[in-house]
Structure 1
Amino acid sequence: MSDRARILVVDDEINIRGALVTLLEKQGYEARGVGTGEEAIEALAQGSADLVLTDLKMPGIGGLAFIHRLKASWPDTEVIVMTAYGSIDTAVEAMRAGAYDYLTKPIDRERFPLVIGKALERRALAGENKQLRDRLETRIRFDHMVGDSEPMQRVYSLVEMVADSGVTVLLTGESGTGKELVARATHHKSARADGPFITVNCGALPENLFESELFGYEKGAFTGAMATKVGRFELADGGTLLLDEVGELSLKSQVDFLRVLETKEFRRLGGTKLIKVDTRIIAATNRNLEDAVKQGTFREDLYYRLNVVPIRLPPLRERGDDIPLLAERFLQEFTEQHHRPLKDISPEAMRLLRLYAWPGNIRQLRNLMERLVITVKESSIQPVHLPEEIQASQEDRRTMVVTLGTSLKDIERETIRRTLAEVTGHREKAAKLLGISLRALQYKIKEYGIRE
């Protein structure tokens, strides 16, 4: 099957039709011509076209009626109308009916390829956006987590394996990588899904409030304890307790929690009754707990008790293939929330988004998409709309930041992906730059599932 764009020319004047077909073929397109709207519909039924170039005044079905029928059956096919200078109003009406643009006769040889190129670029962009939306429908999984990159596939696999086991899970990763979403996914895919999911932000709790917040207190336990309060640990009985920012716990709080973690028994502050619960623990941190253990700020026994199954959340810079999916998802979310028309992201703007390092990870991308939905009036987001630091990322496209601990496989995959992007998908050039054979490169592209 040919990769060339397919263009159908509809004009009842055979000389004009033939000249346009010849011109388009010289420009590298696959072109054919027909003389009437009826013939065009028959031709489209036999094989769709990327673009239809049509006259407005034709025998049989009129140009406007033809466009309405075309758009009803082939909405993704772009249309450019041709009209005489005295029929501009009709051309504008055709654009309201769905035509992309118009050309006046006689055709301007300089403007002609520009209009054709822009129409086909719009067609390609619409196709890419549709593919992204389709992928979103199939890839939004694990409690609205988005992404099908290899690093995220490993996360999904681990969640599937540990969800029903009931073991303690330690989620690690930079701030904004989605640790709470993974915790919720683990809970909802487990037998505890009908039970409560309770979170406690350890970094926001002063040491003197940790015990009462986690284990509760009895009425009269201290001044101001006017009624009995059930703690988070007990509220999560039969479900899951997420200890977010667990690395921020004080040493005293670590001792209190370790004892309860091992026995699943505790007493409320000021109480004498021993309370036993069946609560699954998931801990999350953006700190390196191994370093904290060496520095004496985190207990080694608690670390090993929490680190039964570790799951590392990759930073966004390590999952560049997911950026288009995430951006599309957030655009949809905020256009609905703020009642704005849906926008697309131009290829060049998307390239810059993929090159940027995203120190704030998914949270930063999400906030940016909301800002663009509100501030960009145009229907397509262009590089000029992006923050200066992201626009500047194009200057660093030949460099790559590698986080300590990143696997060699991930480094190789990202190097190949960026090299292909740099040479706009030219595999022979990419293979030469990488110092490997074309065959080896093709094998790696298939092995890593790299989309060009």
Structure 2
Amino acid sequence: MVEPDRQISILIIDDEQSERTSLKRVLSPKYDVSEAPDGDQGLELAIKIEPDIIITDMMMPGMNGLELLKHLNKLDFNPVTIFITAFGNEKIAVDAMKSGAFDYISKPFDIDELRMVVRNASDKVMLLSENKTLRRQIQKMSAKNKLIGESEAIRKILELTKKTGEVDISVLITGESGTGKELIAQSIHQQSARSANRFVTFNCAALPTELIESELFGHEKGAFTGAVESRMGKFEAADKGTLFLDEIGDMATETQAKILRVLQEGMFERLGSTTTKKADVRIVSATNKDLESGIKEGWFRSDLYYRINVVQINLPPLYERRDDIPLLIEYFLGRFNKKHSKNIESLTPDAMSMLINSDWPGNVRELMNAIEKAVALSDSNTLTLSEFESKKPSKTYSNFSSDDLLSFREQKKSVVDGFEKEFFISALLQQNGNISRAAEQIGLRRQYLQDKLKKLGINAQEFKE
């Protein structure tokens, strides 16, 4: 695995000293470069140092490049292999790529092309390393990536998730914000034949339209202002794995058309390139919007809808499965006790009753935030009703006592502030802490909402996942 604080290592294998020197001069000091004069010594050194990338000549005395590749393919570690071939021998290099090589460079090589190929190989190394890390994490947190609950609704969802994971089809997950759509997407991936490969997440509402295509499809150097180097997109990163398109209902119709092409043909082009690339990707999408209404209103394509909606899994809001709330509270208590070094064992009956009977407009995410805040700030081993004050119902006229009646103006301000605080928090929870989307949802200007949040002491960052 590549540690974040160490250089990527490269082994150069070539029988010509001048070629090895030229390559080393170009690649050092950015990379940790070793060298070997032939295939046999190269294989021996590779087994000893386990380089991330191997750059090897195709034609060498003794063991040639293709024979070397066969031996490399049998090793426990997986170096990314780049071939150097004489002009006119490109067909041999293409055969090598079919046998597992990453790419090739023709002699005499162009320095910029060499750097680009090695940079792309480095991206592949980092992805492979990340895959190993993710697989280890998934094994450790398999319970964490399941929807918590024992209600009939959750049992049916988990059963459908298992069946869906076993077949390679597109899935659309629907439900309000905070209901656990990404957890279901992860679970589908883990139970699929693609589980050894990457699960890549992309939030369709997180970027301006003009940047979404670059993120999804990648771009070449110079494709637009600021594109100082080539970059692979999410489809390339998710090749042979799963791409989770969160909030797909927020995607522009022009981008929808390009996504549709990838689903239909498995092909796309990076921005600024005419080279068609292939991607073997399973698409799992999620939305909290009514896409069928979007089709009627013209903001969502019907052909894309039917492509992504082979199987639909609908997650109910938390108020429709109140029986699961005690189990969720128990799970979050254990999780946040460990995180904050606390030993909170339970809730008082009135606190538990209040949490069970709350509406939770932000669903499981809002409950999770409430439990974490209470655990982090509590000084005892039992959580009481007073530690969940923000969830208690706002006062109405029937609740006022003589002690409350300080003045009409003060009382009105208190009630209005309480209403605004709950209203804005609810909007932020539903929009995952995104002020722009929250403002749009409730019909306010972004700057006005930002000013109100500041006055009320609300930090939008606290409501991000």
Band of TM-score, shorter chain: 0.5 to 0.7
Kept in 1: contact 2:344–2:382 (CA 8 A): no
Task: Please give the TM-score of this superposition, normalised by the length of structure 1.
Answer: 0.54
Q: Tell me the equivalent position of 1:390.
A: 392
Q: Tell me the equivalent position of 2:247.
A: 245
5 Å matches for 1:292-371? 292-371=294-373
Kept in 1: contact 2:170–2:284 (CA 8 A): yes
Can you give the 5+ residue segments of structure 2 that lack an aligned partner in the other structure?
1-140, 400-465
Q: Tell me the equivalent position of 2:47.
A: none
Matched, 1:217 2:219: yes
Kept in 2: contact 1:353–1:390 (CA 8 A): no
| Residue 248 (structure 1) shift | 0.2
| Residue 325 (structure 1) shift | 0.9
Q: How far apart, CA to CA, are the structure 2 residues paired with 1:279 and 1:168?
A: 10
Q: How far apart, CA to CA, are the structure 1 residues paired with 2:376 and 2:218?
A: 44
Kept in 1: contact 2:215–2:233 (CA 8 A): yes
5 Å matches for 1:34-433? 141=143, 143-390=145-392
Q: How far apart, CA to CA, are the structure 1 residues paired with 2:256 and 2:265?
A: 14
Kept in 2: contact 1:187–1:197 (CA 8 A): yes
Q: Of the two, which has the highest radius of gyration?
A: 1
| Residue 203 (structure 1) shift | 0.3
Q: Tell me the equivalent position of 2:115.
A: none
Give the 3 Å change call, closer, same or farther, for CA 141–154 of structure 1 in structure 2.
farther
Kept in 1: contact 2:147–2:154 (CA 8 A): no
Kept in 1: contact 2:166–2:192 (CA 8 A): yes
- Show CA shifts across 1:167-196 (max 9, x none): 000000000000001000000111111100
Identity of aligned residues (%): 46
Q: What RMSD in Å do the two structures reach over aligned CA positions? A: 2.0
Q: How far apart, CA to CA, are the structure 2 residues paired with 1:311 and 1:388?
A: 32
Q: Tell me the equivalent position of 2:450.
A: none
Report how many residues are paired.
256
Q: How far apart, CA to CA, are the structure 1 residues paired with 2:242 and 2:332?
A: 28
| Residue 219 (structure 1) shift | 2.1
Q: How far apart, CA to CA, are the structure 1 residues paired with 2:237 and 2:368?
A: 31
1:283 counterpart SS class: strand
Q: How far apart, CA to CA, are the structure 2 residues paired with 1:360 and 1:306?
A: 26
2:200 counterpart SS class: strand
| Residue 379 (structure 1) shift | 2.2
Kept in 2: contact 1:140–1:147 (CA 8 A): no
Give the 3 Å change call, closer, same or farther, for CA 253–140 of structure 1 in structure 2.
closer
- Show CA shifts across 1:206-239 (max 9, x none): 1111211101112232333222110101110010
- Show CA shifts across 1:295-350 (max 9, x none): 11111111111111000011111111111111111111111111122231122221
Q: How far apart, CA to CA, are the structure 2 residues paired with 1:223 and 1:344?
A: 56
| Residue 243 (structure 1) shift | 0.4
| Residue 392 (structure 1) shift | 6.6
- Show CA shifts across 1:46-68 (max 9, x none): xxxxxxxxxxxxxxxxxxxxxxx
Kept in 1: contact 2:147–2:158 (CA 8 A): no
Of stretches 179-188 and 319-328 in structure 1, the one that deviates more from structure 2 is: 319-328
1:284 counterpart SS class: strand
Give the 3 Å change call, closer, same or farther, for CA 261–179 of structure 1 in structure 2.
same
Q: How far apart, CA to CA, are the structure 1 residues paired with 2:331 and 2:183?
A: 15
